[in-house]
Amino acid sequence: MWKRLIVLAVLIVIVLMPLPALAAVTADVTITATGIVVGAPGGFTVAYISDYEVGLSWTKPEGAVNTMIRAKYGSYPASPTDGYLVYYGDLEYTSDTAVSLDETATAVYYRAWSEKEPGVWSPLYAEGNIEGVGVTLLAFIILALGMMIAAFVIKRKVLAFASTGTWMVLAAYSYNRVVTEWDIYYALFFLCGGLALVSAFEPFIMRERKEEGEEEPELDEEDKAFKEEADAMRKEREQWSSLFGNRRRRPTRKLSRYEKTGEH
């Protein structure tokens, strides 16, 4: 009986021990709710106008006085002080004229914050991005260059012709976008045109390389003697094979003549 009481007492102690600790933890927790000061700009859009201008538009939320927009290459601005300033004011549209989409090989990222009063910014933001033209050009250049190298390595004319077509398209695109003689598209036009010619002559170069590879290598004196001896042995073997082959065929021809005429 007393053993059962001891076990029951131990169970009661085990169950009641965490209660003080739980009460202490609960008493030490303080929860505070912070409301949103002002909302993020609504309807934020990023539109391509030219290689040197990007249009931005948005709608100010209720309670917002100003809007700040910042931009950064490669990633979104982390705060209202990160990246470069595009706009700060009370309007709902602007243009970023500090970009060079034809030269960048990465995207340009924009973020917009609302300001309720000087120095009081919304914790929320609107964002958008636009890829530079250089990203697409770089992808096509890598594709054409890869096909040209693969055509040289595995000797496939189809890849050479495909590479030539891609280089020609890039050259035509670059020529249509040339503004000045020192424009990047001007240099790209000549680069793509030259690589198109190289890729076009690639099948002929591969054929010459193949013909050169089929030419017999020059032999030294020992190799020449060995080759002559091997050729002589092969000719002698062919002569003996021909001789014995004729002897085996003669009885067959006689038997055939006997069967036809009946003469001995």
208 or 192: whose pLDDT is higher?
Answer: 192
Same domain, 167 and 114: no
What pLDDT score was predicted for residue 211? 53
What pLDDT score was predicted for residue 205? 66
pLDDT, mean of residues 186-199: 85
Same domain, 150 and 196: yes
User: Has residue 18 been placed in a domain?
Assistant: no
What pLDDT score was predicted for residue 77? 95
Could you give the CA distance from residue 100 to residue 47 in angstroms, rounded to a whole number? 14
Q: Is the pTM of this model over 0.85?
A: no
Domain range enclosing 52: 42-131
Could you give the CA distance from residue 200 to residue 23 in angstroms, rounded to a whole number? 83
Strand order in the sheet with 107-117: 84-89, 66-73, 107-117, 120-131
pLDDT, mean of residues 121-147: 84
What pLDDT score was predicted for residue 246? 58
Confidence of residue 5 (pLDDT cuts 50, 70, 90): very low
CA 40 to the chain's CA centroid:
34
Same domain, 69 and 91: yes
Confidence of residue 15 (pLDDT cuts 50, 70, 90): very low
User: How far apart, in Å, are the Cα atoms of 57 and each of 23, 87, 116?
Assistant: 53, 11, 19
Same domain, 160 and 127: no
155 or 85: whose pLDDT is higher?
Answer: 85
The number of domains in the chain is: 2
